[in-house]
Every structure is written in C-alpha cells, then in structure tokens.
Structure 1
Amino acid sequence: MTPNTLLAASLFAVVSSITPGPNNMMILASGVNFGFARSLRHLFGITLGFGLMVLLVGLGLHTVLDRWPVIYSTMRWAGAAYLLWLAWKLANAGPPSATASRATQPMGFFAAAAFQWVNPKAWVMAVTAISTFLPAQAQPPHVFALAALFMALNLPCVATWGAFGSAMRRVLQEPKKLRLFNMLMALALVGSLIPMLT
C-alpha cells in the first residue's frame, strides 16, 4: 500500500470502528453491566473476529458472495434477527448479582468473534475496506497487512466504548437507572440496524 492509501485505510478503520454500531453498543452495555476487565474476552473476540473476516473477504470470500448474493442476504437477515434477540435480552436484563446464572455473564470470546459473521455493519466495513483499499489482484501479504491494520485500530476504538461503559457504572448503581440504561441500549442496538438494512 502507498502511504496515501495507508492513511486513507487507517482513517476509514478508525471512523468505522468508533462510530455507533452493534459491537460498540454491546461492549458499552457490557462495560456498564460487568466492568471493563470482565468484558475483555468480548472485546478481543470482536477485534480478532472482525480481523479474520477482513482477511477471508480479501482472500476471496467476497467473490462467493458476489456469485451467490442470497448467502449475503440470508446472513444479513439472520444477523438482524440475532441483534433483535440480543436487544430483547438486554432490555430485560436485571442488575448482575453474585449468584447470577451463566445467562447473565458477559459475551465470551468465541461468541463475540462468531457474531461478526452475522453483524451487518461488520460485513459492510469488511467488503468496503477490501474493495476500496486493495487492488483487484492483491496478493495475500497485502490482505494480511490490511487485516492487521484494521485489528490494530479496531481494538482501541471498541475498547473506548467498553471503558466509557465501565466508567458509567458508578452513575448507574441503582437498579432503576441500570434498567433504564439497558432499555436505551437495547433501543440503540435496534436503531443501529436501520441504516444497514435499508
């Protein structure tokens, strides 16, 4: 990549990673409900899962999606359904307690990594990155470099949302305030789907 392309790709990675979307809404809510340290597996799952997506799209997965667009549409709608289910769970979540069940634990590494494959915003970001910043006949080292760049810049951007959520825990100690916050985050999660599905 030329220096200009590298700069443009870096700006795209930062802007697309730090703006609101399903990952950021979920890591913000996780930071509030569970704290930053307990949300780290979720955070690393997002970053590595998305980096793998960029890598595989760049190595040719996008051609499969171009050939069979029904696969992309199916994943997009499956992702929307999953996000609605997560929003419903979040809206109905109570305050975490010492005796909380596994259902009230933060999202784990593998679940967060797998979520990228049904996350409409992640697909838009990955396909846009590959089609915009790599030449048509890009070699694997270039694809690896772009995926590494996205992971390196995605991690601090998403971590900012988790850290902000963790800092808000003090303000949201009361169950009523936490419940209101969770409902607002559920609505934001649903709202993040609108531009991606229309």
Structure 2
Amino acid sequence: MISIGSWTAFALVSLGMVCSPGPNMIYLVSRSITQGRLAGVISLFGIVLGFLVYIVLTMLGLSALFLAVPYIYEAVKWAGAAYLLWLAWKAVKPGGASVFEPQTLPVERPRKLFLMGFMTSLLNPKIAVLYVSLLPQFENPARGSLLQQGAVLGFTQLLVSFTVNFLIVLAASKVASWFGTRPTWLKVQRWLMATILSGLAVRLAFDRRP
C-alpha cells in the first residue's frame, strides 16, 4: 500500500493543481455565474466523470504499460516535463488575461451541461498531465499492487478536486470578484504555481522507474 508520506505529497500536489486557474475552473465559474449554482453542480458532475475515466485508464492500463515498455514511459515522462514547463511559463508570461474574468455562456439544458463538463474535464491537459505523468511518480512497486496504489491516488485527487470545485460553484460570483480586485495576489499565485510546476518538471525529468 502507498505510504502516508507519498499520499500526503500527492494530495498537496492535487490541491495545488486544482487551485491553479485552468479550463475546469474557468468553465465552472462562468457557468455558475451565467446560469446559477444548480447548473454549476451539474457541470461539476460531468467533470468528475472525466476524472473517473482517467482513474480507470491509469489503474487498468497505464502503469502496467509503463512497466512492460519502459520506452513509452520515457516518452511520456519527457513530454510531461516539457508540458509542465510550458504551463509554468504560461502562468507568468506577460500579457496573460486573468482566468477569473468569467465568460458569458448561453443557457443550456442539464444533459448538455453534464456533457460539456465531461468534455471540458476529459480534454483538460492539466488533468492528463496529472494522471499520465505525475501520478506514477508517487507509486512504488516495492509497496505492493500498483493497481491499488493507482486507485488510492486517483480517488484522492477526485475527492480533493470535487471538494474545491464544489466550493467554487457555491461562491462563484464572490470568487471572481475577489480575485478580480486583487491583481497583486494573482501575480503571487501565478509565480508560486510556476515554481511548483517547474519543480515537478525537473523531478519528472530525472525520475527513474525501477
């Protein structure tokens, strides 16, 4: 079973990534402000389904594939490290618009809200990087089944993300207003996230799987 230290570290990484601006947060804030909290919650359940897809793929295929074909892991590892560095640069580059400026979205029916949330999550590159590149770093074959470790880590990320995003849906208008009037905090947050992402990229680049 996964160690408490690795579990805690992964939970903190998951918290840092879900708190950083991204497609899921932009969509939930915009949808909740435009159409109300219920629409935001329905969209959130679609996003959670996207997380579940990545969890299942990670549990049933990705870890085993990495162990069986090390070259695939190496390719994913370097691609993931490069993408993390790109995310870090994107967070601090000059002229970037604040993601807390919500977009005006058309009113949609519940079924479409769920589907749009699902697709937003499934096509979110941050989530892909988290599951494909970062999650294997916290697994240790010496501590037992990678399937079980992947399940624990995956559902930890799901719980952290659901909790944070649910709170964002409930307080969407206040969150957007608070961040929108505090440019200094936004700048600090961007540089902090860029530092974390860069550190993870370096760790990933030098990671060696047994």
Counterparts of 1:46-85 in structure 2, within 5 Å, are: 46-62=51-67, 64-65=69-70, 69=74, 71-81=76-86, 84-85=89-90
Question: Structure 1, residues 2-54: CA drift from partner, whole Å, max 9, x if none?
Answer: xxx36x36x74455134433344235555444444223333332343145235
Aligned length: 179
CA spacing shift, 1:60–1:122, aligned 2, 3 Å: closer
In the other structure, the counterpart of 1:110 is: 122
Q: 1:162 offset after TM fit, Å?
A: 0.8
Q: What are structure 2's unaligned runs of at least 5 residues?
A: 33-39, 108-115, 203-210
TM-score normalised by structure 2 residue count:
0.59
Q: Does residue 190 in structure 1 map to residue 197 in structure 2?
A: no
Matches of 1:147 and 1:46, distance apart in 2: 13
Q: 1:144 offset after TM fit, Å?
A: 3.3
| 2:16 partner amino acid | G
In the other structure, the counterpart of 1:128 is: 138
In the other structure, the counterpart of 2:110 is: none
Q: 2:11 aligns with which of 17, 23, 26?
A: 17
| 2:123 partner amino acid | A
Q: 1:79 offset after TM fit, Å?
A: 4.1
In the other structure, the counterpart of 1:144 is: 147
TM-score normalised by structure 1 residue count:
0.61
Question: Structure 1, residues 163-187: CA drift from partner, whole Å, max 9, x if none?
Answer: 2322432423549727847766655
| 1:110 partner amino acid | L
Equivalent pair of 1:43/1:155 in contact (CA under 8 Å): yes
Percentage identity across paired residues of the two chains:
8
Q: 1:147 offset after TM fit, Å?
A: 2.9
Equivalent pair of 1:52/1:147 in contact (CA under 8 Å): no
Matches of 2:142 and 2:59, distance apart in 1: 12
Q: 1:193 offset after TM fit, Å?
A: 0.9
Q: What are structure 1's unaligned runs of at least 5 residues?
A: 135-141
Equivalent pair of 2:88/2:195 in contact (CA under 8 Å): no
CA spacing shift, 1:154–1:61, aligned 2, 3 Å: same
Q: 1:111 offset after TM fit, Å?
A: 0.6
CA RMSD of aligned residues (A): 4.1
Secondary structure of the residue aligned to 2:172 is coil
In the other structure, the counterpart of 2:36 is: none
Q: Does residue 96 in structure 1 map to residue 103 in structure 2?
A: yes
